[in-house]
Structure formats: structure tokens, C-alpha cells
Amino acid sequence: MLNASKLSEFFQTKIEFLKGVGSKKAALLQKELGVLTFADLLQVYPFRYEDRTKIFNIKELKDGLPNIQLKVRIQNVQILGEGFKKKRLIAKATDLTGEIDLIWFQGVEWMKNQILVGKEYIVFGKPTLFNHTFQISHPEIELFEGKLEVKSFLQPVYSTTEKLKANYIGSKTIQKLQETLLETAEPHIAETLPYSLIAKYKMISKKQALWHIHLPASAEMLLQAQRRLKFEELFFVQLHLLTHKLLKKRNFKGLVFSSIPTVSVFYKQHLPFELTEAQKRVIREIYADMVSGRQMNRLLQGDVGSGKTMVAFICMLMAVDNAAQTCLMAPTEILATQHFESLKSYAETLGFRIACLTGSTKTKERKIIHELLEDGSLNILIGTHALIEDKVKFKNLGLVVVDEQHRFGVEQRSKLWRKNEQVQPHVLVMTATPIPRTLAMTLYGDLDISNIDELPANRKSIKTVHRTDEHRLQVFGFIRDQIAEGRQVYIVYPLIKESETLDLKDLYDGYESVVRFFQDVQISIVHGQQKSADKDFEMQRFLRGETKIMVATTVIEVGVNVPNASVMVIESAQRFGLAQLHQLRGRVGRGANQSYCILMTDKTLQENSRIRIETMVRTTNGFEIADIDLKLRGPGDLMGTRQSGALDLLIADLSQDSDILKVAREEAMHLLERDPDFQSIENRCIKAQIESTKSKSMNWARIG
């Protein structure tokens, strides 16, 4: 049996050494698809499959058909037009039932020399009707040699680029390279899962899976290959995350906060409202971490208005009760100031010192804060990323709270944890953007997760309605009525200035129409291109009630808390994602009055836009909305993870494969409970796979 290093050597072979590639193609494959080695190519999986068993007659064609296959004879070939852009090659082709034009706009001279007049060809492509004649642009074309050779029931289709196609590296070329590589690689493909797991879930072997994902013998074998590779990928990702979680719990000790007298006093004498059962449950989960002797790493999810800040403050009291300092980092000055103002009176009533540190804090105040932090007399510090500056030093930092954690990078957050050299502080990261469970298990699988899935009893559910442009006057009339009752209104636009490519109402155009209709009403305007001072000035005016309408872009998505604002109007709502719509809606509904969200759109909506709008009208449940958003947009778009590389999945899809993910995580947990260091004979294949994965990626399922 080949050892792991030998296997790794084979799969790390440069792609130029594969038969049929060479240095020129290798350079293109690397630049366009990121394919550098044999392993990289083998893990370029098809994104769909086509049934090549049916041959259509030309007379059967109709407009709107997908890619189809024809057997035709070439009657003549001619080049029409002049110049690089206008020149095209047209091959007239016929079968016994009709005639079709095959057209090429690129590689015209080369293609002319490839096509033999009078010969029969198998042609594959999408037919379109032009001037009463069907045509196929840039079809796949292969000489017919007496019989139709179908190597596979389903033909794989691979992603390519225009540059690859221009150099004659299309899907079919990649398929041929995969076939060549598989024949060479077969003896080097090692099993990566224990036999007990393969038998338990009736999975095919790794060799079979790789063969049938690229060259499926049948639809059934393709499904088996997909199931095996998806399970393996998700299993190794979960193994990676859970191993790190286990190491943290094993290696990082945490301060023990067992004495919490102030928490009891706060509950009995100062808590302004009854906590929800969800808040109580989360506080119990956090307290269990605080007394465990291990460092807490917990993600706290909860909708806007669910009471995360109060939970965080109670946890801060646990730290302060045990002679530890605590800090809360927020993404904006407005949010940091808001947290400070809301918690200041509670902290001071309980006899604790609290301060706020942002980029705007004056030098004199900063100096005092630094001194109080270092001598330990400042108990709670609220702030922005100013908290992570090197000169900010704590005497004994015991708890770090990060609000809207997705707005901070990993390095920014980790700078806070390193501010206690003796022992790692407990970490609580919070988000008001509910994350679907499948995504949370993968993005934050190394954290413990708590959910506040219940709103306070005094909160009225926000009424959400959908209106089109023809109802604008009625909407403006409703806004006027709300202002007359003493309420305030947000009107949000997706763009700052008019776009040439998108037919959307821009902010300034909208602002002018609002000003014309509400001539007697004070109006603020806020957007991301304003200077911070101007933006803050307008937000503060709205917060104080000096302006009644705020016309804004999504800059107010995470911002001021205005209990008196009862109406959120979102213009061109079809252009926003579900999560963003939900966040914007959460800006209202913070007071005792009934609040409203009005989604304005064009009359005609595309399918996905219609689903988003209908979902918003139907439910205010952030977790349900997050699940639908995941299905509509996919995990990469949803969390920005394609750009960040946080999700390194090659074949699994978190929006489709939640059942496989749950099973894979359970099996990874069971394995780590039994054999955390992969020492048993059965688990040596797992250890070998992990050791052969040199990439820093969290996807240990990768080859090589």
C-alpha cells in the first residue's frame, strides 16, 4: 500500500505533465481555473450533466429548447463580414428533415479548416430561431464515424471562461483531461473514510466516487458519487472545526466567575423589564461556561430588539463581580455610544465605573481612560475598533463582547483576546443577523451557539405590506397621518445617485420628491458618502425628534435606535437581499406603538424578488427568513464567504445538503469522543488524509 507522502507527491504533480496539457495550456488552466496540480484538476467537479443519448431531428426543434444534439451533414461553409468583430463563419447543415446554420464568431479561420464539407457530424448546442431559420452559435461539433459513441449516459459540463474557450479549452476538453487523469490516478487514490462509516451509510468507495462524478455510468451512480463526496467533504470540515474546538477547551483555561452577588441585586432591584425565557436560557448557558474553568467562545444570535445587549450586560456583571474587567466592541461610533448611553445608568447605579472609547474621544479623556484601565478601577469599557489599539491596556480583562461580529476581521477580534497575558478572556460575539443552522455549523462550528428566538412581551409585531409605485400617494398620505400622531419615518433607497444601468429611484431624486410632498416637515438625509460628522449630525437630529423623516441609504441598517420611529419605507425593495430587508425593518418597532414596514417595488417582479417580498410580508421570524435567504442566494453570497475563503467547499452546498451536514457533524463528534487523536487502526486513513492536506484551508477532504 502506498504511504500518504507518496500519494501526496503524485497529486502534487504539476498539471503541465498530464498528457494533452503542456506548458501553454497549464498556464491558462492555472490563471483561469486555479488548476496547478493533478489534485486541483481532479477536484474541478462538473456543475451539471447533460443527457447525450437522444438525437433530435431538425424538424423537432422549437424556440426555447435547452442544449440539444443533432446528427447533420455539412452542405457548405462560408465566411461573411469583414473585420475582427463582424467576421463570422456559417456552416449550412442538414438532416433528412430540415436545415440549420452553425455559426462561429471566434476562431473563424481555424474552424473553417476543421470542418469538412459533405461529412456527417454530431452537433451539440442551444438552438435559436433567427429569420425563420434555426441556428446554433459556437456548437460542440464532432465527426461522426459510423456509430454514435456515448461513453457515459450523462455527459459532465465543466465551468470554463471566455479566455479558455478562445484557446479551445472548453468543457469537452476538460472532460478528456479528467478521463486521462483518472486512468493514471486510479492506483494512487486512497480510501479516506473508515470502513465502518462507509458500510453504515452504504457509500461507494473514494475511487468509485471520483470516477463516477466525472464519468457517470448511470444516473444512480452519479447520485452515489455525489452523496459520498458531499458527506466526506462535510465530515472533514466538521472534524477540522470540532478538533479546534476540542483543543481550545483542552488548552485554554478561563477565569472562573462563580460569585455573582450583583447579578442577583440587578435582577431584584434594577432590571427594567421581565426577561424572556429565551434570554434566561442563554444566560444559564453562558454562566455554565463562566464557571467551567475553560475559556468561553460563544456566538449569541438574536433578532434586532430581542434583548442581546441586556444579556451581554448581565454577563459583564458576572465578570465585574469577580474582579475582572470587561469590554464591548461595536462596529460604529453611533452604535458604541448607543450601548454606552443605554448601560451607563445601570452600571453607575450598581457602583461600577463605565467609559466609552471611540475615534472621537478627546486626548484628555483618553489619557484618563487608559490610566483607569491599567490600575483596574475602570470596570466596563464600551467602544469601537479603538479598543484594539496597542496603547489600550487592561489590568485584568475577563470578558470580551463583540457586537455585530461579522463586521470585524478575525485579526481585529483576536487582538482583544490577547489583552490578557495571564489567561484568555471569555469571548461572547453577537449578531442581529440570524444565521441558518447549517451555515452556523460550518462558519462557526468551533464556537458554542446560543439563540434568542423570542421577542420581549411588550413588543408589537411589525406590520409589513407590499405596495407598487401606483400606490405612492396613498403611502405618502399614511406617512403624513403617522407624523401627525407624533411618529417618525425612515425612507430607504438602494442608490445614492442615479444609475445608468439600473432603473432605480436614486436617493437625491427621492429626497426631492419627499421634500415637495412634505413641505412643512423637517427632513434629514443620510448616506455613506457623507463625512462622518455630517452623518452623525443628521442622525442625532432625527434621534432628538427635530426631523420627522430620514431619507437614507442602507447606512442606517446598523445605527440609531429611535423608539419613536414607527414607519420604514424601503424603495426598490426588490433590489435588496432578504437579510438586508429584515435588518432594515428592525430599525422600527422599538417603542410601544404599532410599527409598519412598507416595501415599494415595480409592478412586475422576477421570481426570486417575488419570493423575497412575499416572505417579508408573511413572517418576522429572522431564523425562517435566514433559511429562505440561504436557499435563494447560496452560502457564499449570503455571508460574503466566497471572498473571505471561510467556506472552502468544492461540492457540498449548504443550502441543499443540510441533512448530510447534520449526519456528518454527528459522526465527527462521535469519532472525536472515541478517538480524538485518530490512533486506532480504523482511523489511520483519516490521520493520513489530514497529514496529506498541506493546504491551510479548513477543508481536510481535499486531495493532496
- Does the CA dihedral 378-384-389-391 come out positive or negative? negative
User: Average pLDDT, stretch 518-532?
Assistant: 86
Residues of the chain with pLDDT > 70: what percent?
91
Q: pLDDT tens digits for 412-469?
A: 667 777 888 788 899 999 987 777 777 777 777 778 889 898 877 777 889 999 999 8
Q: Which residues pair with 51 in a beta bridge?
A: 154
Q: pLDDT tens digits for 603-659?
A: 888 888 999 999 999 998 888 888 888 878 766 554 444 434 446 789 998 878 888
Which stretch, 281-290, 406-415, 436-445, 573-582, has highest mean pLDDT?
Answer: 281-290
**CA triple 590-456-263, angle to 5 deg:** 110
pLDDT at residue 656, as a whole number: 82
pLDDT at residue 503, as a whole number: 47
pLDDT at residue 505, as a whole number: 56
Which stretch, 281-285, 428-432, 556-560, has highest mean pLDDT?
Answer: 281-285
Which residue in 389, 302, 381, 384 sits closest to 335, CA to CA?
384
What span, in angstroms and rounded, lies between the C-alpha atoms of 284 and 137?
Answer: 64
pLDDT, greater one: 29 or 414: 29
For residue 142, the tally of other CB atoms under 10 A from its CB is: 13
358 DSSP 8-state letter: -
User: Average pLDDT, stretch 374-402?
Assistant: 92
Which residue in 142, 100, 98, 151 sits closest to 123, CA to CA?
142
Query: All 3 cell numbers of residue 447?
Result: 464556537
392, 357 Cβ separation under 8 angstroms: yes
What span, in angstroms and rounded, lies between the C-alpha atoms of 59 and 246?
Answer: 65
What span, in angstroms and rounded, lies between the C-alpha atoms of 341 and 339?
Answer: 6
678, 4 Cβ separation under 8 angstroms: no
| pLDDT of 676 strictly over 70 | yes
| pLDDT of 180 strictly over 50 | yes
| pLDDT of 528 strictly over 80 | no
Residue 101 host element (H or E)? strand 98-104
| pLDDT of 83 strictly over 80 | no
- Does the CA dihedral 577-579-581-584 come out positive or negative? negative
Percentages helix, strand, coil for the chain (3-state, rounded to 5) are: 45, 20, 35
What span, in angstroms and rounded, lies between the C-alpha atoms of 581 and 626?
Answer: 11
Phi, psi of 450 (to 5 degrees): -120, 140
pLDDT at residue 5, as a whole number: 54
pLDDT at residue 2, as a whole number: 44
What span, in angstroms and rounded, lies between the C-alpha atoms of 464 and 459?
Answer: 15
496, 508 Cβ separation under 8 angstroms: yes
What span, in angstroms and rounded, lies between the C-alpha atoms of 181 and 16?
Answer: 12
What span, in angstroms and rounded, lies between the C-alpha atoms of 336 and 345?
Answer: 15
What span, in angstroms and rounded, lies between the C-alpha atoms of 429 and 441?
Answer: 15
Phi, psi of 627 (to 5 degrees): -65, -45
Which residue ranges form the domains of the chain, and what is each CATH number?
A: 1-47+151-186 (1.10.150), 54-149 (2.40.50.140), 261-292+307-431 (3.40.50.300), 463-619 (3.40.50.300)
For residue 531, the tally of other CB atoms under 10 A from its CB is: 8
Q: pLDDT tens digits for 303-355?
A: 877 889 999 999 999 999 999 999 999 988 888 888 998 899 999 999 999 99
pLDDT at residue 34, as a whole number: 92
What span, in angstroms and rounded, lies between the C-alpha atoms of 313 and 263?
Answer: 10
Contacts of 193 (CB under 8 A, 6+ apart): 203, 206, 232, 235, 685, 686
What span, in angstroms and rounded, lies between the C-alpha atoms of 449 and 441?
Answer: 9
First to last CA, the chain: 17
Look-up of cell digits 469519532? 671
Which residue in 693, 686, 655 sits closest to 670, CA to CA?
686
| pLDDT of 1 strictly over 50 | no
Lowest mean pLDDT among 32-46, 156-170, 461-475: 156-170
For residue 4, the tally of other CB atoms under 10 A from its CB is: 17
396, 325 Cβ separation under 8 angstroms: yes
pLDDT, greater one: 138 or 227: 227
pLDDT at residue 704, as a whole number: 67
pTM for this prediction: 0.71
Residue 152 binned pLDDT confidence (cut-offs 50, 70, 90) = low
Contacts of 104 (CB under 8 A, 6+ apart): 88, 89, 111, 137, 138
Kind of pairing between the strands at 154-157 and 48-51: antiparallel
Lowest mean pLDDT among 410-419, 504-513, 632-641, 685-694: 632-641
Look-up of cell digits 404599532? 594
Angle 333-349/308-320 helices, nearest 10 degrees?
A: 50
Which stretch, 60-69, 522-531, 545-554, has highest mean pLDDT?
Answer: 545-554
Question: Which amino acid is present at 246?
Answer: L
Residue 404 binned pLDDT confidence (cut-offs 50, 70, 90) = confident
Angle 684-692/219-251 helices, nearest 10 degrees?
A: 90
Q: In what order do the strands lie in the sheet with 565-570?
A: 463-468, 596-601, 565-570, 488-492, 549-552, 523-526
Kind of pairing between the strands at 426-431 and 397-402: parallel
pLDDT, greater one: 596 or 629: 596
10 Å CB burial of residue 681 (0-12, 13-18, 19+) is exposed
Look-up of cell digits 451557539? 449
What DSSP string describes 136-184? EES-EEEE--SS---S-SEEEE----HHHHHTT--HHHHHHHHHHHHHH
User: Average pLDDT, stretch 119-146?
Assistant: 89
pLDDT, greater one: 254 or 319: 319
Alpha carbon 660 to chain centroid, angstroms: 19
What span, in angstroms and rounded, lies between the C-alpha atoms of 55 and 124?
Answer: 10
What span, in angstroms and rounded, lies between the C-alpha atoms of 143 and 114?
Answer: 10
Query: All 3 cell numbers of residue 38?
Result: 493533478
**CA triple 355-361-363, angle to 5 deg:** 110
| CB under 8 A, 24+ apart: contacts of 389-392 | 392/357, 392/419
- Does the CA dihedral 671-674-675-679 come out positive or negative? negative
Would you mind telling me the total number of residues written for the chain in this entry? Answer: 704
pLDDT at residue 645, as a whole number: 41
What span, in angstroms and rounded, lies between the C-alpha atoms of 551 and 284?
Answer: 42
289, 402 Cβ separation under 8 angstroms: no
